[in-house]
Chains A and B, each alone.
Chain A
């Protein structure tokens, strides 16, 4: 069903449109043919829709999620106990139709799958073609391709550019992702986990992970891609990995780069010593705040059951052995892979409590919300339907303190979170869920309500309970079509797929 978009005007809403400097301003929005337009000279034919008292924001943009492809399918099967009919709420990994419906009902209208191997791109696109409502795109794990590594081995920039360009065309990708640079080469030599620094040469190649990161970021810049290199750096989930992330940030030295799910890369502690586990956020934030070429998404964890899935098989193997959980590894023609396993985040777990606090510490100490995208790395940190809870944790200090009081006591004592009083305003929440991710992703028609923008608009009922407010939008429009109303999906138009 693809209903015709209407001409209409939303009247009297309270606009939050950070990209256009509107912060709680009462104004009308005119929509024609799926886009936001200037007030017409002749208003005949425009339906009036009363938005008085409602908070109006652009449709949400999820910059980093996992919604399609082999890893997601593996996730759907690996945890039958987390299926839809086995528990309240959605399945841990919903079907593709449910994914679109749930995102839309939440007020989100754009999503990117952040890790698709080029070899799996065709089948991922076939799946995404069945994702209703949302506009979507994929980041290609092109950095794992043998041709890329060969071009890097001879330090041939032109060849590297050509290989990446071909991969993007072939895979219809929007961006280039690197997951654990060089990690598969170490891992396949039988090393447990991916414990390596950025300056150890890959087995049999004159290439280091730092070399991969640097050259790829520059290649992406030369190709003029809308989104910078999307970086999942090495040593995900390991104690002491904050040093790896700091070195990763230093590697880029003025070149744009996006740091994915930084929460999973910000752990203090000795080398693989879980006993000294803690937060390594402070030095990282200091560097991040001082370098405006860097952007990030957090990958916040929230407590509950979910399924971890990553293009970093080595990290998944490490997690499986750390938790004793059965897992699945999937390798795609040697040029990509993934690891999938169920995981339960518990408030009283020392490690999980630290992860929770570390993510929030990132959100609350990063100075510029325009360089921060809200994410849970769905479903790794939490299901995307939990975003409203995360928004309340950010925007409601009392709620956050109450939650802090329930977690592992050692984390309560040691985390800097207890001393942080910052609370996000509605405008800042709008930035990290819409304006910033759209801008970081390079989507000029998303994340704002200016003239020429796609008419992706979400209307909320104001509520002190931010989780309640953001979990149930009054109305959601996608390209001018009413797609959801009070949690009920009203239409399932087809979205577009972004590719460069």
Chain B
């Protein structure tokens, strides 16, 4: 799976991860994939709801070592 852009939100708390994500997704073309790395537990709740609302697809999410949450989102 080709990742088109990586967004590093490690250490950031609400609302910065969601704001940065929304802005980064605007810069992608349909079908492209963004990788987001973050440590804010709140993003785990906010992200699926935001994807449902916007139609973007939450392709994959996993917990990495060091408390890092990694998600892949495909632009609709």
Q: Are A and B physically bound partners?
A: no
